[in-house]
A and B are shown apart, each in its own frame.
Chain A
Amino acid sequence: MTAGKKKWDVIVIGSGPGGLAAAIEAKKNGAQDVLIVERDVELGGILLQCIHNGFGVELFGDDLPGPTYAQKFIDETLALGVETRLDTMVMDVTPMRTVWVTKRDGFEELEARAVVLAMGCRERTRPQIRIPGTRPAGVYTAGLAQQFVNIEGWMPGERFVILGSGDIGMIMARRLTFEGAKVERVLEVMPYLTGLMRNYVQCLLDFDIELQLEHTVSRIIGHERVEAVEAVQVDKDWKPVPGSEEIIPCDTLLLSVGLIPENELSRQAGVIIDPITGGPYVNEDMETNVPGIFAAGNVVHVYDLVDWVTTAGYVAGRGAAKFAIEQRKHVDREVPIEAGENVGHVVPHRLCKDTLVERDVQLQMRVKRPIEKPVSVELLDGHERVTRQGARYARPGEMVTLNVPQKAYDAVNKAESLQVRVVER
Chain B
Amino acid sequence: MEETRTPAAGAGAASPAARTGGEPRSKNSPVRCHGRFQGPRPPRVCPFCAQKAKTIDYKSVEMLRRYLTDHGKIKPRRKVGTCARHQRMLSAAIKRARHVALMPFATEATRGE
**Genuine A/B complex:** no
| Chain A interfacial positions (CB closer than 8 Å to B) | none
